[in-house]
Chains A and B, each alone.
Chain A
Amino acid sequence: MTRSLPAVLWLTFVWVLLWGTFSPASIVGGILVAVLVTALFRLPPATDRLPVRPLPVLRLALFLLWDLAVSGAEVSWQVLRHGPRASGAIMAMPLISSSDRVVTVMANALSLSPGTMALQIDHDHDVWYVYALGPRDQAGVERARRRVVDMQRRVLAALGSPGEQAEAERVLGRMS
């Protein structure tokens, strides 16, 4: 019960927002529905604990918002400038985390970053395959690679272990 408490709180929050009224009825109704949902649809227990770092998480959220704005502009530019002749690249990139939840956040962050999305995640070899729209030559591919690692570094700053953070810096250092 205590383990599903965050889920219950979150679901209640969403429920109240959906109703759009902050009345006792909507809050109690929300709690009932949340308890029912978490009891009926059990999530597998998370084996790892994520660190709580409010400030880096906030920084990550702001960065992602900014990334999305840049992203919209860049993809629009590709549409206008190159259109049917737009080129892309599929790159094998190191996946610098073994935590399922961190990888989920990374994949989500990646699809908000300019022109990129995850095509395939190979957890066994810690590699993921990233599609990027925009690179026209090898130099462009290298730029896109750096961006992917830099994004991972930012996610790890908020959610990763010190070891993973050091690994991200190392990979980034090797690229420059």
Chain B
Amino acid sequence: MIDPVAIDIVSAVLLLTGAMSCLLGALGLVRLPDLPSRMQAATKPQTLGLLLILAGTALRVELESAVTLLLVGLFQVITAPVISQLLGRSAYRAGTVRRELLVVDELAGKMPEERSS
């Protein structure tokens, strides 16, 4: 049997690192300048934080509940990219991307026009 104290310590480290990562993601939402950069904060540190918190929780609950946590993590990893892509291109179309903050913009003038009906 593994020492329960050791499990507690590992779990605590995972939970705290995860919470820290989520906090940094939230901070990014406030501090970063425009929508695409904020999407990065909302998807990366946030996803990492969630996965760490799930892992930390999984160590402390029964196996059956831990397996359900696996699904939470899986869906987060699968769905977040879809949303970030949709929001990203909408933002570009709507002109909320701060052009002066881009080193290069090779999409300029290439985005297909929305068909007006």
Contact = CB atoms under 8 A, between A and B. Distances in A.
Given A18-B68, A88-B103, A79 B51 contact: no
Interface string B56-72: 00000000110110110
Nearest to A22: B64
Contacts of B105: 89-90
Interface residues of B, number: 46
Interface of B: 21, 24-25, 27-28, 31-33, 36-37, 39-41, 43-45, 47-49, 51, 64-65, 67-68, 70-71, 77-78, 80-81, 84-85, 88-89, 92, 97, 101-108, 110-111
A160 to B, nearest CB: 19
Interface string A85-102: 111111110000000000
B104 A90 contact: yes
Contacts of B36: 88, 117, 119, 131, 133
A71 interface: yes
**Which 7 pairs, one residue from A and one from B, show the smallest C-beta to C-beta distance?**
A72-B48, A111-B81, A79-B28, A92-B106, A83-B31, A76-B24, A75-B44
Given A112-B47, A119-B89, 20 more contacts: A14-B71, A17-B68, A21-B64, A68-B47, A68-B48, A75-B24, A76-B21, A76-B25, A79-B28, A89-B102, A90-B97, A107-B81, A108-B78, A111-B84, A117-B36, A118-B88, A119-B85, A120-B92, A120-B110, A133-B36
A17 B74 CA distance: 12
A23 to B, nearest CB: 11
Task: Bin the interface of chain A by size.
Answer: 35 or more
9 contacts: A68-B44, A78-B28, A88-B36, A91-B106, A110-B81, A112-B47, A117-B43, A133-B40, A141-B104
A115 interface: yes
B33 to A, nearest CB: 5
Contacts of A30: none
A139 to B, nearest CB: 10
Contacts of A74: 44
Interface string A104-124: 000110111011111110100
A63 interface: no
Contacts of A135: 103
B31 A89 contact: no
Contacts of B65: 20
B44 A71 contact: yes
Nearest to A21: B64
A29 interface: no
Nearest to B67: A17
A80 interface: yes
Contacts of B111: 120
